[in-house]
């Protein structure tokens, strides 16, 4: 979109559009940009070449990798991730990453080159309708047809990407606009006429929420990615509120780390592969306090059986997240930090929970659920169990400055269950879109932002092959990422569903003709390690940690292991199945449940 | 699917009443804004029964879109929230619930006929306060404004006389009283 909001001060400096891109990025505090060159962005690459090291460009090996790297960078720092790609195939290759960022609310600014304005619509070489293609997979996008608009659009793009519910923004810049000269002005306070996200929650409603909390007998905090989006302050306030109230707390996949996993009040993750205690507490609670989570279908299961006896409070910055899947009793539109601040203050001002006895009974019930040890699994002496591998990885790295990314599948769920997080921004995973191939490039982005940290991609042997070429990026920029592959020789998550739902007919889910991952690592001038014996695992993990180069760790695990607990198709929270109950799964899954999986 | 309640995905909501609502949407008049609105409706499977759009405040570059849509109360609420979060959208007003409002559309109706049919067509047009804006030896074009059901009645009456075609603007709406949107 061209826009008239782009008022440029007459005092601005004259420069080309391409130079403006560099200026604007620098003024927005961008230090790293992930990209890939091509004809329609050559003027910007030329300007990059001539600038004096204000920006470092990271050359990826595929544009999808550029966006995932920017996502990892953004999620681990709280900053906006930046991408630069060419027109046509450059832009279409970025679409998966943009959609991923939209689903998981990650702030991204992606600059795409476009054919010159006079050729737009002419089927010119490497032309595609970038704004048309990316309209449904971005928070907003712009096509800049006038050089005078460019500085304002660039600054506004950052504002839109990071404010409110964050998301990806595309700025499509035709090549003639990159060459054109105009006046550049520094960013000013941006007050968009229409777009003004509400930060402060309605005080009367927050008071009502506190009232409900004081009278609850079986309360539960259900928190999500919104706490992470809101910044570290939100996590601090959440910890305070949980401490003050003494209520139990669970979180979605996207919210892990906002509350310390070592705390007694933490029930673990909820949802399809959540813990017994978290899901039962959701089912039986009488007050659900949802903060920055969106009642995703992996959480609610069967809607008509979802937390049937509860009243619900929902805090969210995006009104469209409220009452979308589940009707709540008290919606509060606002930013987590702001609302939590008010909640903590108001709770303090009052006289604490009035239902102490009820709360104690509730905790007793929860401890009974917890005693089932729903994550338990049976170790074997000769085969590495994937859960064991994650447990050892956690134990051997927990005292370090560690960041975890994942691919998508069983390994992702085991990572969520067995790797415990004490801090926000340490856990990068593709939740909403579930994009295989996310983890490796995301690790590249995280490592760039945190050069001295230990960055590990917990991967599956199938997923990691989708973006494996970014190993070359990691080697080029000396980013010592660790790719820890739980190699079960299957698209395990698919195999698990086929076992449970499709009579064990494993159609196309076997990982055929796998490369030798050790040799593959060596081919990339990285280090390869293989381990297939439980007894040798610790030493191998230690070796991996010690290597100051990128490592591919081929951890050969039990190919038949399934991920439990699991809420099977067609069932409600309280009908979850555990590992020990594996024999009864077949009858737990109904015919009709197969259809929508 | 037939038995949605047994899927892990949420079941289709139990048959709630479907309501028709008229929404007025104030937007920045910039390229692509209509595509965003229409893309939202098609992408999320909402219905559009009628859609009108035109610039209404030239200096401020504002356009007004009027949409008639159908859905359960929960879907209608989603539609409003989803519209409101689009960056170039300023305001969304639900004319069906925001107090008394007037809704009108304009139609041009072409009728062909001779003799008694012509007399009958003119008599009915008069009763509906439709104006003749084109006349020939064998045809009329009528212009009629009013609420949608009035236009539908008029068109239904013209059908046996010799209705040729109808062109309608779609609904526009405004609230009664001194307040603006
Ligand atoms: C194989 C697989 C299995 C999965 N299994 C599970 C599972 O068992 N359990 C599970 O939990 N997930 C699971 N997921 C992930 C799931 O699909 C969803 O991505 C996830 O549950 C959504 O998390 P969330 O509700 O925290 O929402 P997010 O997607 O993180 O959305 C955040 C919400 O917070 C709001 N928000 C954003 N910023 C702010 C702010 N500053 N202030 C207030 N609100 C804000 C947003 O508007 C949004 O509503 C799985 C994914 C995959 C791929
Ligand atoms: C791009 C993409 N294609 C397909 C899928 C569907 N899918 C989900 S998990 C999975 C298997 C992943 O296998 P692997 O990476 O080996 O992980 P595992 O489940 O074995 O741990 C597939 C194919 C997906 N999520 N993303
Ligand atoms: Mg696998």
Q: State pLDDT tens for residues A287-320.
A: 999 999 999 989 988 888 899 999 999 999 999 9
Pick the residue from chain A with its C-alpha nearest to B92: A194
Q: Which residues pair with B20 in a beta bridge?
A: B70
CA distance A152 to A4: 9
- Can you tell me whether residue A525 is helix, strand or coil? coil
State whether B115 and B147 are in the same domain. yes
In a domain, B58, yes or no: yes
Q: Find the A456 Cα to ligand 3 centroid distance in Å.
A: 17
Q: Looking at the CA of A567, which ligand is closest?
A: 1
Q: Omega of the bond prior to A493 within 30 degrees of 0, cis?
A: no
Closest Cα partner for A193 from A2, A1, A322, A3? A3
pLDDT at B8 (0 to 100): 53
Size of interface A-B (CB pairs under 8 A): 97
Per-position b or e across A31-60, b if 16+ CB within 10 A of its CB: ebbbbbbbebbbbbbebbeeeeeebebbeb
Task: Give me the pLDDT at residue A587, please.
Answer: 43
The Cβ of residue A200 has, within 10 Å, a number of other Cβ atoms equal to 13
CA-based nearest residue to B76, from A395, A320, A363: A320
Residue of B2, B8, B14, B42 for testing the chain A interface, max A β-carbons within 10 Å: B8
**pLDDT tens, residue by residue, B11-22:** 666 677 899 999
Catalytic, A522? Answer no
**Chain A nearest-CA residue for B90:** A194
From ligand 3's centre to the CA of A254, what distance in Å?
A: 22
Tell whether B61 lies on the interface with A, counting CB pairs under 8 A: yes
Asked if residue A424 has its Cβ within 6 Å of ligand 1, the reply is no
**Co-location of B94 and B123 in the same domain:** no
Alpha-carbon distance of A236 to A258, in angstroms, equals: 8
Query: Of B75, B98, B121, which closes a domain?
Result: B98
CB A60 within 8 A of CB A25: no
Decide whether any atom of ligand 1 lies within 6 Å of the A104 Cβ. yes
CATH number, domain of B117, equals 3.30.70.1150
Q: Using CB atoms, which residue from A136, A165, A568 is nearest to B43?
A: A136
Task: List the structure tokens of B20.
Answer: 């028709």
Q: Pairing state of beta strands A454-460 and A402-406?
A: parallel
CA distance A310 to chain B (A): 18
> Helical H runs in A268-384?
276-284, 297-300, 336-349, 356-370
Is B31 part of any domain? yes
The dihedrals phi and psi of A505, each to the nearest 5 degrees, come to -90, 100
Q: Is B77 on the interface with A (CB under 8 A)?
A: yes
Measured distance CA(B130)–CA(A211) in Å, rounded: 60
Of B98, B129, B157, the last residue of a domain is B98
A194 and B28: CB-CB below 8 Å? yes
Which CATH number covers residue B72? 3.30.70.260
Q: Which residue has the tokens 């269950």?
A: A417
Distance, in Å, from the CA atom of A192 to the CA atom of A211, rounded to the nearest integer, reads 36
- Give yes or no for residue A435 CB within 6 A of ligand 2: yes
- H, E, C per residue of A216-244: CCCEEEEECHHHHHHCHHHHHHHHHHHHH
**How do the residues of chain A divide into helix, strand and coil, expressed in percent and rounded to 5?**
45, 15, 40
Asked about A204 being catalytic, the answer comes back as no
| Predicted-complex ipTM score | 0.83
Say if CB A413 and CB A273 are below 8 A apart: yes
User: What pLDDT sits at residue A190?
Assistant: 73
Query: Which of A136, A192, A592 lies closest to B6 in CB terms?
Result: A592
**pLDDT number for residue B3:** 35
Q: What is the pLDDT of residues A5-52, one digit of tens each?
A: 444 445 689 999 999 999 999 999 999 999 999 999 999 999 999 998
Domain range for B168 is: 102-174
Helices of type H across B25-146: 33-43, 73-84, 116-127
One domain for residues B118 and B134: yes
Same domain, B93 and B106: no
Does residue B6 lie within any of the structural domains? no
For A423, half-sphere exposure in the C-beta direction (CA atoms, 13 angstrom radius) is: 13
Ligand 2 neighbourhood includes A439 CB (under 6 angstroms): no
* Residue A577, pLDDT score: 84
Tell me which chain B residue has its CA closest to the CA of residue A131: B32
Which of A143, A192, A301 is opposite residue B8, by nearest beta carbon?
A301
Both B82 and B147 in one domain: the answer is: no
At residue A4, the pLDDT reads 43
The position carrying tokens 């890939």 is A36
* Interface probe, candidates A129, A195, A300, A496, chain B, greatest B C-beta count within 10 A: A195
Measured CA to CA in angstroms, residue A406 lies from A64, A337, A509, B65 at distances of 16, 27, 20, 44
Are residues B133 and B65 part of one domain? no
3-state secondary structure of A167: coil
If you average pLDDT over residues B125-151, what whole number do you get?
A: 97
Say which ligand is closest to the CA of A290: 1
> In angstroms, rounded to a whole number, what is the distance separating the alpha carbons of residues A131 and A31?
26
Active site residue A493: yes
Q: Tokens 């929270």 identify what position?
A: A573
Question: Which residues of chain B neighbour A588 with C-beta distances below 8 Å?
Answer: none
pLDDT at res. A2: 41
Which residues of chain A lie closer than 8 angstroms to B85, CB-CB?
Answer: 165, 318-320
Residue B181 included in any domain? no
Choosing from A299, A331, A340 the residue with most ligand 1 atoms within 8 A of its CB, the one to mutate for a pocket test is A299
Which of helix, strand or coil describes residue B140?
strand
Contacts of A260 by beta carbon, 8 Å cutoff, 6+ apart: A239, A266, A421, A422, A423
Same domain, B75 and B127: no
- Clarify whether residues B86 and B25 are in a common domain: yes
Residue B6 makes CB contacts below 8 A (sequence gap 6+) with A302, A569, A570, A590, A592, A593
What residues in A contact B25, CB-CB < 8 Å?
none
Testing the interface with B: which of A129, A570, A587 to mutate, by most B Cβ within 10 A? A570
Give the helix/strand (H/E) hosting A417. helix A410-418
**Residue A348 dihedral angles phi and psi, to the nearest 5°:** -60, -40
pTM for the model stands at 0.93
DSSP character at residue A424: T
**Contact by Cβ (8 Å): A33, A56:** yes
Candidates B9, B30, B78; nearest CB to A596: B9
What pLDDT shows up at residue A351?
Answer: 78
A243 C-alpha to ligand 2 centroid (Å) = 38
Which pLDDT score is estimated for A340? 98
Q: Report CB contact under 8 Å: B7, A4.
A: no
Ligand 2 atom at minimal distance to the Cα of residue A434: 25
Picking from B7, B32, B87, the nearest residue to A595 by CB comes out as B7
* B90 contact A CB<8A: yes
**What's the total number of domains in chain B?**
2
Ligand closest in space to the Cα of A253: 1
Q: Are residues B92 and B117 in the same domain?
A: no
Catalytic choice (A212, A428, A468, A493): A493
Q: Are B28 and B92 found together in one domain?
A: yes
Show residues of chain B in contact with A2, CB under 8 Å. Answer: 30-31
- Residue that is last in its domain, among B41, B65, B98: B98
A212 vs A81: CA distance, rounded Å: 39
- Mean per-residue pLDDT pooled into runs of 10, chain A (597 residues): 45 92 97 98 98 94 98 98 98 98 98 96 95 97 97 97 98 98 90 85 98 96 98 98 97 98 98 95 97 94 89 97 94 98 96 82 95 91 97 98 98 98 98 98 98 98 98 98 98 95 95 98 98 98 98 98 86 78 42 42
Q: What is the largest CA-CA distance in chain A?
A: 75
Name the catalytic one among A15, A23, A28, A63: A63
In the predicted structure, residue B4 carries a pLDDT above the cut 70? no
B76 and B112 share one domain? no
Q: Which two tokens stand for residue A55?
A: 């920006």
CA B108, CA B175: separation in Å to the nearest integer? 25
Residues of B in contact with A597 (CB under 8 A): 7-8
For A21-78, strand residue ranges (E) read: 32-35, 56-59
Ligand nearest to the CA of A564: 1
Do B29 and B89 have their domain in common? yes
- Cβ-contact A507, A495 below 8 angstroms: no
Residue B46: CA count within 13 A, CB half-sphere: 29
Contact A570, A589 (CB under 8 A): yes
With respect to residue B12, please indicate whether it lies within any of the assigned structural domains. Answer: no
Whether residue B43 lies inside any domain: the answer is yes
Q: Among the atoms of ligand 2, which is closest to the Cα of residue A407?
A: 15
């Amino acid at each position: 979109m061209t826009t008239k909001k782009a008022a440029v001060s007459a005092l601005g400096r004259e420069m080309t559009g391409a130079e403006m891109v560099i200026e604007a990025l620098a003024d927005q505090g961008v230090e790293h940009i992930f990209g890939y060159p091509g004809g329609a962005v050559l003027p910007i690459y030329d300007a990059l070449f001539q600038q004096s090291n204000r920006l470092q460009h990271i050359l990826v090996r595929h544009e999808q990798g550029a966006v995932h790297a920017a996502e990892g960078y953004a999620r681990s720092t709280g900053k906006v991730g930046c991408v630069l790609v060419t027109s046509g195939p450059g832009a279409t290759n970025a679409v998966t990453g943009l959609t991923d960022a939209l689903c998981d609310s990650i702030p991204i600014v992606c600059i795409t080159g476009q054919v010159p304005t006079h050729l737009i619509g002419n089927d010119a070489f490497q032309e595609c309708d970038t704004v048309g293609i990316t309209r449904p997979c971005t928070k907003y996008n712009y096509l800049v047809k006038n050089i005078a608009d460019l500085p304002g659009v660039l600054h506004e793009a950052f504002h839109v990407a990071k404010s409110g519910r964050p998301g990806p923004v595309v700025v499509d810049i035709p090549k003639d606009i990159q060459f054109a000269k105009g006046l550049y002005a520094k960013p000013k306070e941006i007050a968009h006429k229409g777009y003004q996200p509400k930060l402060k929650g309605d005080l009367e409603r927050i008071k009502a929420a506190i009232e409900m909390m004081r009278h609850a007998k079986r309360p539960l905090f259900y928190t999500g990615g919104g706490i992470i989006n809101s910044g570290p302050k939100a996590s601090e306030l959440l910890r305070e509120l949980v401490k003050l109230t003494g209520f139990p707390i669970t979180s979605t996949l996207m919210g892990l780390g906002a509350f310390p996993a070592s705390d007694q009040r933490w029930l673990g993750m909820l949802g399809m592969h959540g813990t017994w205690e978290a899901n039962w507490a959701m089912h039986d609670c009488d007050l659900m306090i949802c903060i920055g989570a969106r009642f995703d279908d992996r959480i609610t299961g069967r809607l008509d059986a979802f937390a049937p006896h509860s009243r619900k409070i929902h805090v969210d910055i995006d009104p469209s997240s409220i009452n979308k899947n589940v009707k709540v009793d008290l919606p509060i539109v606002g930013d987590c930090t702001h609302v939590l601040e008010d909640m903590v203050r108001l709770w303090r001002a009052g006289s604490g929970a009035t239902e102490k006895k009820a709360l104690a009974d509730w905790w007793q019930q929860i401890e009974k659920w917890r005693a089932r040890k729903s994550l338990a699994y049976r170790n074997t002496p000769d085969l590495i169990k994937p859960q064991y591998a994650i447990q050892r990885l956690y134990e051997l790295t927990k005292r370090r400055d560690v960041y975890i990314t994942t691919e998508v599948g069983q390994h992702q769920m085991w990572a969520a269950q067995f790797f415990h997080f004490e801090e926000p921004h340490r856990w990068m995973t593709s939740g909403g879109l579930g994009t295989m191939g996310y983890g490796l490039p995301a690790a590249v982005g995280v490592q760039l932002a945190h050069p001295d940290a230990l960055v590990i991609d917990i991967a599956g042997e199938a997923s990691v092959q989708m973006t494996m070429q970014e190993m070359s990026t990691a080697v080029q920029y000396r980013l010592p990422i660790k790719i820890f592959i739980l190699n079960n020789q299957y698209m395990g998550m698919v195999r698990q569903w086929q076992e449970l739902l499709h009579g064990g007919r494993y159609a196309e889910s076997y990982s055929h003709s796998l490369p030798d991952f050790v040799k593959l690592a060596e081919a990339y001038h990285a280090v390869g390690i293989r381990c297939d014996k439980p007894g040798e695992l610790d030493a191998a993990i230690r070796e991996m940690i010690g290597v100051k180069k990128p490592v591919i760790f081929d951890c050969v695990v039990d190919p038949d292991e399934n991920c439990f607990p699991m809420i099977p198709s067609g069932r409600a929270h309280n009908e979850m199945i555990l590992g020990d109950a594996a024999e009864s799964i077949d009858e737990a899954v109904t015919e009709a449940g197969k259809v929508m999986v | 699917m037939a038995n949605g309640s047994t899927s892990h995905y949420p079941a289709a909501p139990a048959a709630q009443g479907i309501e028709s609502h008229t929404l007025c949407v104030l937007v920045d008049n910039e390229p692509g804004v209509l595509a965003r609105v229409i893309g939202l409706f098609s992408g999320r499977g909402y219905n559009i029964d009628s859609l009108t759009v035109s610039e209404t405040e030239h200096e401020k570059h504002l356009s007004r879109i009027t949409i008639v849509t159908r859905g359960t109360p929960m879907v209608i609420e989603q539609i409003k929230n989803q519209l409101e979060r689009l960056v170039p959208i300023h305001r969304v007003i639900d004319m069906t619930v925001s107090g008394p409002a007037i809704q009108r559309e304009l139609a041009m109706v072409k009728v062909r006929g001779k003799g008694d049919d012509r007399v009958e067509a003119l008599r009915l047009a008069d009763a509906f306060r439709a104006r003749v804006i084109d006349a020939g030896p064998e045809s009329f074009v009528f212009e009629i404004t009013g609420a949608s059901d009035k236009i539908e009645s008029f068109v239904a009456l013209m059908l046996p006389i010799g209705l040729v075609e109808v062109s309608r603007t779609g609904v526009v709406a405004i609230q009664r009283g001194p307040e603006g949107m």
